[in-house]
Structure 1
Amino acid sequence: MANFLGLMKQAAELKGKMETLQAELEQVEVEGSAAGGLVTVVVTPKGELRKIKIDPSLMKPEEVEVLEDLIVTAHGDAKRKGDAMLAEKMQGLTGGLPLPPGMKLF
């Protein structure tokens, strides 16, 4: 029974830490880029797109398709960085609590 109570206490502490982490992550932005910085995007760690910056040299009508591909690539770069940041924070947060493999808290 003591193990169960200890586990419940850890779960309650984890819940509080998770709420704090979620609030922190709402304020964090991650920047990704493509083509040496000609296109950059800013996303949240959850992947919400916040900003796009496009170098004016790319605004040629015949290069619209290239520009569209670069935006997708830059967004993917920022999303990967955000996922890595989230995974690192989660690992530190749940280090002492045994969670089943693959269990996602977000």
Structure 2
Amino acid sequence: MSKGQGFGGFGLGKMKELADAFKKAQQVQEGAKQLQEELEQLEIQGEAQGGLVKVVLNGNQAPQRVEISQEVLQESAEVVSDLVTAAMKDAYEKSTLTMRQRMEELTSGLNIPGL
């Protein structure tokens, strides 16, 4: 074993890097737990036909409610179905973007492959 290298060439500098990485991972884990709680409370609204149909999801993409205006109810079942589907897609896209942005904020400054 060469002087100052520690176990298997894993010197003190590498140990500090490893400790820092563990510390950052723990911070991310704590932040992820807090983020999960925030997302549960968040409401994201998708719309169709200028807001005549609204779908609300929480930040974890769980459906919360659907609002359909009386005006839309005069349409055929097929039209109502299409509008609800469009509002769902809008809400889903918005919630996915929100989740991605929040995760990027949480992991900013970290070099984690895949994030």
TM over 0.5: yes
Aligned to 1:93: 106
The amino acid of 2:22's aligned partner reads: M
User: What is the rounded CA distance, in whole Å, between the counterparts of 2:57 and 2:105 in structure 1?
Assistant: 22
- List per-residue Cα deviations over 1:12-48 (Å, max 9, x = no partner): 1111111111111110000110011111110012221
Is contact 1:46-1:79 (8 Å) kept? Answer: no
- Structure 2 partner of 1:67: 80
Extract unaligned runs of 5+ from structure 1.
none
The equivalent residue for 2:93 is 80
Higher-Rg structure is 2
Q: Which structure has the higher relative contact order (CA within 8 Å, separation 6+)?
A: 1
Normalized against structure 1, the TM-score is what?
A: 0.89
Q: TM-score, normalised by structure 2?
A: 0.82
How far apart are the structure 1 equivalents of 2:31 and 2:51? 36
CA distance in 1, matches of 2:104, 2:82: 33
Counterpart mapping for 1:7-86 below 5 A: 7-60=21-74, 63-86=76-99
Q: How many residues align?
A: 101
For the aligned residues, what is the CA RMSD?
1.2
Aligned-pair identity (%): 34
Structure 2 CA distance for aligned equivalents of residues 48 and 17 of structure 1? 21
Mapped to 1, the partners of 2:31 and 2:55 lie a distance apart of: 29
Q: Choose between structure 1 and 2: higher helix proportion.
A: 1
CA contact (8 A) 2:41 2:59 kept: no
Residues 44, 57 of structure 2: 8 Å contact kept:
yes
Mapped to 2, the partners of 1:19 and 1:47 lie a distance apart of 16
Contact 2:46 2:54 in 1 (8 A): yes
